[in-house]
Amino acid sequence: MYIRTRGGLGQPLGTGECSRWEKSPENFSQAIAEHYVSTELKQQLKGERVQCRPDSKVCEVTFPGAITVGVSLVKVPEYVIARPPGEAKARREYNYSCTPQGGLTLERRWYIVRIILIDPTGVFKKKDKLRKEFCAKLQDKFNKMNPRWLNLQSFRFRVGYRSGAPTREEKANFGTLDFPVYLLDTQHGPKTVRDLMKQHKVPKTIKIPTSGKEADPYKLAEDGWKSRDTRGVGIPSGEGHAKVAFIKTHRVFADATADLAQAFVNVTAHEIGHMGNLVRHSASGVMRYPVLLNVDIDFSPGDEGPFLADLRRLRGLRQ
Ligand SMILES: [Zn+2]
């Protein structure tokens, strides 16, 4: 027996062990490929032929109608991969587990992009209605960015809220797909911002992957925070993954004239855009500056592509 760890990508589904499957790459691959054909191609077919590489790590399963599905077992026992040959786009990853009777259960793996709204002084703590609307609308905005692409890439956005500050250890250990956003208030000055950046391991210099330009994120943050015009600051991750944003909640409360939740969604989405290496302002969409507060605005097509591409870059980074 062994204990399988899942690296934060969901809990084991069954309690049985899967060694029977793992010892038989042909049967294992056939079951995975049949699951792929059923869930992705919506066809109930039985695999007719299974051919595995000599090392048994990669197999090809052939179905009636000239359908072939490639299965990779290189990541076993963590997860398995299925894809039709030549179509990297439709690749699917599955966590697997087994029932006590030995039945195989496959569960699609999603890459969760976490937007974590951190409220150190409890600005939103008692504003339940506003907070819930803010979180729901923000999550919706990102999940609707390009649903087809997000589905192909198995990305999902999740917005979470926490009141109180994370521990130093937590701050230093946010993951590549985590977007921590601090909801600050009048009492927070440039020093708070600088200290938080250090605790989040933001480096002294960042290099923007698309332009190759270097920038001093600490200077960027100080200028941004001191400027009376800004309602927030978003620090890009550059070629690394450390990124953090700060919202001047007092400014948003003061400037919003109509829908307060919408104003927070727009200001926060704008700073998340900066965190995702959109360093320049755009002529339209949510990356326009100053950010419109009272209308529901999306990222412009010219900003959407690079932002999503940066998610793939972040996923590919080893932590
Ligand atoms: Zn901006």
147 CA → ligand 1 middle, Å: 25
**pLDDT for residue 257:** 87
Domain ranges of the chain: 19-108, 111-316
75 CA → ligand 1 middle, Å: 40
pLDDT digits (tens, 9 = 90+) for 106-131: 999 999 999 999 999 999 999 999 99
261 CA → ligand 1 middle, Å: 19
pLDDT digits (tens, 9 = 90+) for 189-248: 999 999 999 999 999 999 988 888 999 999 999 999 999 889 999 999 999 999 999 999
Per-residue CA distances from 193 to 91, 162, 199 (Å): 40, 18, 10
Q: How far is CA 237 from the centre of its chain?
A: 14
227 CA → ligand 1 middle, Å: 12
What is the SS3 assignment for 17? coil
220 CA → ligand 1 middle, Å: 11
What is the SS3 assignment for 216? coil
pTM: 0.86
Q: Which CATH number is 111-316's, of 1.10.3110, 1.10.3470, 3.40.390, 1.20.120? A: 3.40.390
The answer on pLDDT for 184 being more than 80 is: yes
Average pLDDT, the chain: 92
284 CA → ligand 1 middle, Å: 12
Amino acid at 179: F
Structure tokens at 253: 């409360």
pLDDT digits (tens, 9 = 90+) for 73-100: 999 999 999 998 665 557 899 999 999 8
Q: Is the dihedral of CA 81, 14, 26, 3 positive or negative?
A: positive
Which one, of 142, 105, 168, lies nearest residue 268 by Cα?
142
| Mean pLDDT across 132-155 | 96
C-alpha 135/C-alpha 115 separation (Å) is 9
What is the SS3 assignment for 272? helix
**Residue 245 CB contacts under 8 Å (≥ 6 apart), including other chains:** 179, 180, 181, 182, 232, 233, 234, 235, 268, 271, 272, 274, 275
Structure tokens at 75: 């990541």
152 CA → ligand 1 middle, Å: 29
